[in-house]
């Protein structure tokens, strides 16, 4: 049995039945926390999913951690800041009308949320690394166009093989 202390338990309790069914664990709440009971690997995945939901991701996106073997990482903005203006840096990450955050999410193939002084990322491990590097570049003052170009360059090229070539045999 694993205990998780959350700042907002209401969202987890509201989605309790869906989470129990999808994650194969038993979720119960007591005064100070949420308890997860199940196999150890299911408990680990449930903890990651519940952390993602608590961070601000929707239940549907958080459950992708289990369904598609994605990871959830948190990046603390203050660890990479030079100045003291956290609002300006968060504004650079979000962009005007949320466009920069949407572009970062699309170019890195990750789901990105901001909560407080942290950025939460759900995605494949290599995509998370690229997204983290891009966000760090923005925090340190790089231009948005340079960050987008970095993400486009670091995107792996899809392998297109339609089976039309003959394989040479030696």
DSSP string, 57-114: --HHHHTHHHHTT-EEEEEEGGGG-SSS-HHHHHHHHH-GGGHHHHHHHHHHT-EEEE
pLDDT tens figures, 95-139 = 999 999 999 999 999 999 999 999 999 999 889 999 999 999 999
pTM of the model as a whole: 0.83
Q: What are the structural domains of the chain?
A: 2-67 (3.30.1370.10), 71-154 (3.30.1370.10)
The yes-or-no verdict on residue 72 having pLDDT over 80 is yes
Grade residue 158 by pLDDT with cuts at 50, 70 and 90.
low
The yes-or-no verdict on residue 3 having pLDDT over 90 is no
Q: Could you identify the residue written with the tokens 């039309």?
A: 164
């Amino acid at each position: 049995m694993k205990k998780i202390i959350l700042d907002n338990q209401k969202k987890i309790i509201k989605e309790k039945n869906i989470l129990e069914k999808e994650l194969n664990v038993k979720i119960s709440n007591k005064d100070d926390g949420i308890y997860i009971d199940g196999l150890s690997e299911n408990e680990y995945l449930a903890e990651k999913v519940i952390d993602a939901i608590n961070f601000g991701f929707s239940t549907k996106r958080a459950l992708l951690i289990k369904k598609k073997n994605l990871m959830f990482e948190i990046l603390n903005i203050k660890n990479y800041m030079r100045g003291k203006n956290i609002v300006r840096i968060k504004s650079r990450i979000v962009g005007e009308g949320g466009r920069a955050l949407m572009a970062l999410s699309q170019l890195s193939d990750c789901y990105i949320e901001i909560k407080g002084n942290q950025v939460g990322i759900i995605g494949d491990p290599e995509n998370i690394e690229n997204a983290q590097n891009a966000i760090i570049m923005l925090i340190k003052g790089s231009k948005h166009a340079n960050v987008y170009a970095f993400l486009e360059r670091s995107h792996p090229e899809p392998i297109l093989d339609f089976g039309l070539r003959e394989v040479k045999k030696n």
